[in-house]
Structure 1
Amino acid sequence: MNIGLDIMGGDFAPLEAVKGLHLFMNEHVSPANFVLFGDEEKVRPLLEQFNLNAPNISVVHAPQVIEMNEHPTKALKEKQQSSIAVGFYALAKGKIDAFISAGNTGAMLVGAMYSIKAIEGILRPTISTIIPKQDGTAGLLLDVGLNADCKPEHLNQFAILGSLYSKYILGIENPKVGLVNIGEEEGKGNILAQGTYPLLKENNQINFVGNIEGRDIFIDKADVMVCEGFTGNVILKMAESFYEITHQKGIRHEYLEQFNFENYGGTPVLGVSKPVIIGHGISHAKAFMNMIKLAAKMIDSNFLDKMQESFKS
């Protein structure tokens, strides 16, 4: 298992990325090899500082960094020695099995789409987010921003991808799928929702339970919640604000603590042929550690093979 890490990606990199690797190494006896992409002059001293000179950790020199405000496609073309570009080259060539970055989200998405491609049969890859449920379980919401405009066929595939992820990564045996809508009854909603409902209802690869409303997002009505990226991103940002506001006001509760994104690390791009995990730009060590955990789990579970098998037909 070879896990690639963009050591320069994120507002607090490379320090927090190295600290995250250090946390992972301290907690796990892992057979994984780690390939770090970044500026050797900045990375090597940190590896020395945290005693990370193990034989299973190597550094690939990538002197350039794609900044957060740069245009993704243009930056990838012009900065071919950037940590993201070099990392995707290694992923495409099979030198690493997964690639992680908390850097420029757009560049990560473009790299995933054009370096390793979508799995055959998948119309559009998607990104998801974990939604903490009131009962302590975790739901999955997708899409949350990659596909702002969708067709019913896209949402139907998102439901399959979300079900597979919930089963093999989150450990939910028969995940319930709900369509995010403005009413529970069949026939409610806009043209997209009305067109999607019958596809989900007839899809024998999922456990469809019907429409869910905004009030159902945080309760155990559905494990996989499907919508287009515009709605999903609004829900995601609203959920993130719960944690920020309660912490600003000094409110502490075990349920609200679950809204801390660092507990989940990052989100995988579902539908591409190799694991690509995107972290929040403000990720600290805990988030990097959890992104590494997720990458290892995706590789160990053969999740990509199961996804390819589901879309063969």
Structure 2
Amino acid sequence: MNVGIDTMGGDFAPQEALRGVKKYLEEDKSNGIKITLFGDAEAIKEIIVAENIPTGSIEIVATTQVIGMHEHPTKALKEKTDSSIAAGFQYLAKGKTDAFISAGNTGAMLVGALFNLKTIEGILRPVISSIIPKQNGGTGLILDVGLNADCKPEQLNQFATLGAVYARHVLEIENPKVGLINVGEEEGKGNILTQGTYPLLKENQQINFIGNIEGRDTFNDKADVMVCDGFTGNIILKLAESIYDISKKEAPESGYLNRFNFEIYGGTPVLGVAHPVIVGHGISKATAFSNMIRVAEKMLKTDVLHKLKDAIQPR
């Protein structure tokens, strides 16, 4: 397995990305994963020496350009073909790496994933998901969290299937409960989208659908997989991030609230494209990068993308 990493993406690049690589290599010595680093070769080499990072499983691919956090994604990818993100996707598309990670420009990562990689046959739209800590000590999955602001019922139904497969094989939830985020629990509640989605989920034999869930159910154990459009999901995700920020100021010793630290979960996988792509937060530090590598590793070892394909195209 070979995991590609954009070392130039994020507010603390490239140092924190490389510290994350070091952390991963020190903690997971027996996994045999190769890591390909994309970015400023001289800067990478200097940090490798300064941080005493083992190089036996590392390859460096020199790039000369960086896509900034606020650049227009499509324009930047088209004009900066020697950027660390563009090169990372080129390697992934050609099979030179098996997964790609970045904490850089989120839009560029999503555009790169959509236009450089094949979408799994049968996927209506790729989706991004995020981990939500549950009060019972477990974790839940919410999707979409921003890629598809406007959706159709058929797409939410497919998101539910993708989320259930990911939760089963990567989060190791044996029979994940799937809930539709809505403004009420009763069937028939909600807007046109949720009203149209409910009967599709109810008939979906690929999932364990438990019905509608409300906002107050997001952090309890009512549902393991929570389905919504990207507009709603992104608001919930940013709310969860704000809860963590507030908790560090008001209740720093809260075991539960500390689990809202995004670094624990690494990054957000793009589900529906042919290879693992992990998008990290722009303020990711070493722990987040290390855990993003672990997410990519788990996705590859469980062969979850083929399982997603089988679920979308049942034999």
With normalisation by structure 2, the TM-score equals 0.98
Identity %: 64
Match of 2:11 in 1: 11
Say yes or no: does 1:23 pair with 2:26: no
Match of 1:88 in 2: 89
Match of 1:170 in 2: 171
Is residue 22–residue 54 contact of structure 2 (8 Å, CA) maintained in 1?
Answer: no
Q: Moved runs in structure 1, 4+ residues, more than 3 A?
A: none
Match of 2:155 in 1: 154
Q: What code does the residue aligned with 1:164 have? A: V
Match of 2:180 in 1: 179
Match of 2:104 in 1: 103
Say yes or no: does 1:138 pair with 2:105: no
Say yes or no: does 1:123 pair with 2:131: no
Stretches of structure 2 lacking an aligned partner (at least 5 in a row): none
| Secondary structure in 2 matching 1:103 | coil
CA distance in 2 between partners of 1:308 and 1:44 (Å): 39
Q: What code does the residue aligned with 2:70 have? A: N
Stretches of structure 1 lacking an aligned partner (at least 5 in a row): none
Tell me the alpha carbon deviations over residues 103-161 of structure 1, each in whole angstroms, 9 at most, x when there is no partner. 00000000000101210000000011111111111000110111000000000000001
Cα shift at 1:54 = 2.3
Cα shift at 1:279 = 0.1
Cα shift at 1:312 = 2.0
Alignment of 1:1-313 (within 5 A): 1-29=1-29, 30-313=31-314
Q: What code does the residue aligned with 1:84 have? A: I
CA distance in 2 between partners of 1:255 and 1:215 (Å): 16
CA distance in 2 between partners of 1:307 and 1:157 (Å): 10
Q: What code does the residue aligned with 1:51 have? A: N
Cα shift at 1:250 = 4.7
| Secondary structure in 1 matching 2:270 | strand
Q: What code does the residue aligned with 1:265 have? A: G
Cα shift at 1:65 = 0.4
Closer, same or farther in 2 for the Cα pair 1:230/1:59, shift >3 Å?
same
Cα shift at 1:17 = 0.3
CA distance in 2 between partners of 1:111 and 1:11 (Å): 20
Is residue 252–residue 258 contact of structure 2 (8 Å, CA) maintained in 1?
Answer: no
CA distance in 2 between partners of 1:39 and 1:53 (Å): 18
Cα shift at 1:249 = 2.6
Cα shift at 1:188 = 0.4
Q: What code does the residue aligned with 1:12 have? A: F
With normalisation by structure 1, the TM-score equals 0.99
Cα shift at 1:51 = 2.3
CA distance in 2 between partners of 1:210 and 1:259 (Å): 26
Equivalent residues, number: 313
Q: CA RMSD in A?
A: 0.8
Is residue 10–residue 281 contact of structure 2 (8 Å, CA) maintained in 1?
Answer: yes
Q: What code does the residue aligned with 1:93 have? A: K
CA distance in 1 between partners of 2:135 and 2:80 (Å): 45
Cα shift at 1:53 = 4.3
CA distance in 2 between partners of 1:157 and 1:250 (Å): 38
Tell me the alpha carbon deviations over residues 213-238 of structure 1, each in whole angstroms, 9 at most, x when there is no partner. 01111111000000001111111111
Cα shift at 1:63 = 1.2
CA distance in 1 between partners of 2:164 and 2:114 (Å): 22
| Secondary structure in 2 matching 1:95 | coil
Is residue 161–residue 312 contact of structure 2 (8 Å, CA) maintained in 1?
Answer: no
